[in-house]
Amino acid sequence: MLFISYAVASAQTIGTRPGPMQYPEALAPYNFKTALEMAFLKMPEAVVEESDTYRWPAWALDVFMGLPENIVAEGKITTQFINWHFQLGTKWQWSPVENVRTYVGVDYAYFMGGIGSSTFDNSNRSSFAYVNVSVGYHFNKITLTLKEELNYLLSRKDRAGDVTIRSFTNKFNGVTTSLYLEQEFWKDQQFLIGIRANYLKFVYQNWLLFPVSEVYYFVPEFVFGIRL
Amino acid sequence: MRLISLFIPLILVSSCTEGILLEVPEFRRGGFLSQTDDLPVSKAAKLEGVWEVVKGNEVFGDSVAITISGDRITVYAQPSVGYIVLETGVLDSVVFLQGYWRQQVNSNTGLADLYLPKFQGGGWVSTDSSAKPDTFLIVGTYGNGEANPEKDLVLRWVRPFSERAKQPFLVIAHRGGGRTSDRISYSENTVELIRIAERFGSNVVEIDVRLSRDGIPFIYHDSNLNPRLVQRGALVGPPENYPMKALKDFVTLIHGESIPTLEEALQTVVFETNLRGVYLDTKTENVGLVSKMIPLVQKAIQDVALVENRQPLTIVIGIPTQAVYDEFVSIPNHKLVPSLCELSLDQAIAINSLVWAPRWTLGTQDAGIQRAHNQLMAAVTWTMDIDEFIKEYVNNSSFDGILTNYPSLVKYYQLMR
């Protein structure tokens, strides 16, 4: 709640400055930018079958804060109501040439999923590390950003009723390649459309459907966002 | 915005996994076994037990369980849901075992070429007179893909199965033996897959039943004819929209088979396997499918008597939803119809089900199982594929069976108990 309050308050004071969200721009120390995202994940039909291929969207609140020495901190909360994913990390910003910006960073994430009903009493707790590099190009009114992320599954705990299984894996879990296109949308508002190509073994959004994680699944994610 | 609109077609891409077609390798011209004599089942049974993996641990783990599985000898391993399916032969008191290995949660597969040396088990297994040797070994090689097996595999006998491992346990193979998406050799829900289901440790198969437009029960899982299960063809939409002849003539399943009728599937079970059970998962609701299934079930049970030395067969009609439940209770004498109820235990008791089948997701449910057992009702759970949970449920729950896409893994944990 503290995170959300802080983010909303920050958006109200700093949101006057338009600009892209995923584009790896520098932020002045202790300045913020905040974005709201909606993402749709499409699971492999061969695995989750027709009834589960499209599921409800994930909503995310993404907050960037400038720090000294071209460091940017990022905090992100993603939810599908039964799934909560908390992410926190830092990025170092660099501008090799005009109109090109880069981020290099590391994030830690903690995932909590749970479902309780007459037929389910399950939960999952997992932690991840994401090592990422972003490269963005600023056209006249549009930015195009490519982000490459290495995904490590650090730990996993599954529970079904009275049975709990824990594993500390520290396993390479795959890669995510993202492409974001951002531009002014309406009255200085920035609009984002993007695709995240996940090539992962364990896709946390579908923890209940993915019992075995030895095979890489290509799972595209379609992202829409607006800067607050 | 124009640039953004150009971006939108990317959204049309689809998710996918690795290709689903994976052929397990075979020895050319029958391999060396074509030159050997058959090993009788009674003698092959001497191989049954727990074995230590002396060489080959990187693929098969530290210990494996070996048992006769249908018409093959199967070596059950834990890592990556591994198994080796073997045929046997004897020559000069040496027992030869050849076949293939597979890991079901990935694409790893290859040939396996093994033997029991004459004085380290071969002689004892293949004859009646020799004494059991002190060192009882299976030695040989395994390989990758079609390549000649060249990596060492050595197994050393440890012990026979425990009394607990020998207790009856229902290893229920999902969709006739497994999912198409796990790159099994045949399409799910086919007679071809049912024929070999026992080789992977199952003693019961679950199959999905729908009703064709002309009233014939047939086997198919999804509610649509889709690329997951069917090769590109002329028919689309729900398979129930078509008469059985059209489904037979115009639909080809992903590995080239045709959609079987329920009657064909049950005849395969009765006459071509020694399975002890069939779980008919009722997929089409509110059109009288249950009434159509009952006479086919009764005929199959009668046919069992025609097969010499066949173990008893139980066929249960699955009741997965309230709609099917309502249809079931509307049938006269429904309490005499063998059923498996996935709904509440009270509902299962009310219709005199043989089996209560709650989801595994609620935990081990010991109190409910105890109550089911008091009603002389078996309790099985579905559909469980997570290794650690399978181990926990097999060892520490009161369930009488598990429905799974990985029957070999359930069998492994059952035999290692």
Q: What is the CATH number of the domain that holds A83?
A: 2.40.128
In A, minimum Cα distance to B188 occurs at A46
Report the mean per-residue pLDDT for chain A.
86
SS3 string of chain A?
CHHHHHHHHHHHHHCCCCCCCCCCCCCCCCCEEEEEEEEEEECCHHHHCHHHCECCCEEEEEEEEEECCCEEEEEEEEECCCEEEEEEEEEEEECCCCCEEEEEEEEEEEEEEEEECCCCEEEEEEEEEEEEEEEEEECCCEEEEEEEEEEEEEEEEEEECCEEEEECCCEEEEEEEEEEEEEEEECCEEEEEEEEEEEECCCHHHCCCCCCCCCCEEEEEEEEEEEC
Q: How many domains does chain B have?
A: 2
B112 and B214 belong to one structural domain: no
Residues of A in contact with B4 (CB under 8 A): 181, 183, 191, 193
Last residue in a domain, options B96, B125, B160 = B160
Q: How many domains does chain A have?
A: 1
DSSP letter at A68? T
Q: Is the pLDDT of residue A213 over 70?
A: no
- Asked if the C-beta of B71 comes within 8 angstroms of chain A's C-beta atoms, the answer is no
Domain span holding position A127? 2-227
- Asked if the C-beta of B87 comes within 8 angstroms of chain A's C-beta atoms, the answer is no
Q: What is the pLDDT of residue A19?
A: 74
Domain span holding position B108? 28-160
B139 and B230 belong to one structural domain: no
In single-letter form, the type of residue at position B299 comes to K
B250 and B144 belong to one structural domain: no
How near does any CA of chain A get to the CA of B67, in Å? 25
Residue pair A112/A37 in contact (Cβ under 8 Å)? The answer is: no
One pLDDT digit (tens) per residue for chain B, 417 residues: 454 444 444 444 444 444 567 788 999 877 889 899 999 999 999 999 999 999 999 999 999 999 999 999 999 999 999 999 999 999 999 999 999 999 998 889 999 999 999 999 999 999 887 688 888 999 999 999 999 999 999 999 999 999 999 999 999 999 999 988 888 989 999 999 999 999 999 999 999 999 999 999 999 999 999 888 999 888 999 999 999 999 999 999 999 999 999 999 999 999 999 999 999 999 999 899 999 999 999 999 999 999 999 999 999 999 999 999 999 999 999 999 999 999 999 999 999 999 999 999 999 999 999 999 999 999 999 999 989 999 999 999 999 999 999 999 999 999 999
B64 and B175 belong to one structural domain: no
B110 and B177 belong to one structural domain: no
B195 and B109 belong to one structural domain: no
B144 and B256 belong to one structural domain: no
B335 and B218 belong to one structural domain: yes
**Which member of B13, B226, B389 has the closest CB to residue A163?**
B389
B128 and B187 belong to one structural domain: no
Please report, rounded to a whole number, the percentage of residues in chain B having pLDDT higher than 90: 85
Compute the average pLDDT of residues A70-95.
95
Where does the pLDDT of residue A210 fall: very low under 50, low under 70, confident under 90, or very high at 90 and above? low
**B73 occurs within a structural domain:** yes
B55 and B139 belong to one structural domain: yes
B235 and B340 belong to one structural domain: yes
Prediction ipTM score: 0.81
Best of A42, A43, A45, A184 to disrupt the B interface (most B CBs within 10 Å) is: A45
Residues B297, B292: Cα–Cα separation, whole Å = 9
B237 and B142 belong to one structural domain: no
Last residue in a domain, options B120, B136, B160 = B160
> Inter-chain contact B80–A160, Cβ cutoff 8 Å?
no
**B329 occurs within a structural domain:** yes
Q: Is the pLDDT of residue A139 over 70?
A: yes
Last residue in a domain, options B160, B186, B221 = B160
Where does the pLDDT of residue A17 fall: very low under 50, low under 70, confident under 90, or very high at 90 and above? low
CATH number at residue B332: 3.20.20.190
In B, minimum Cα distance to A216 occurs at B17
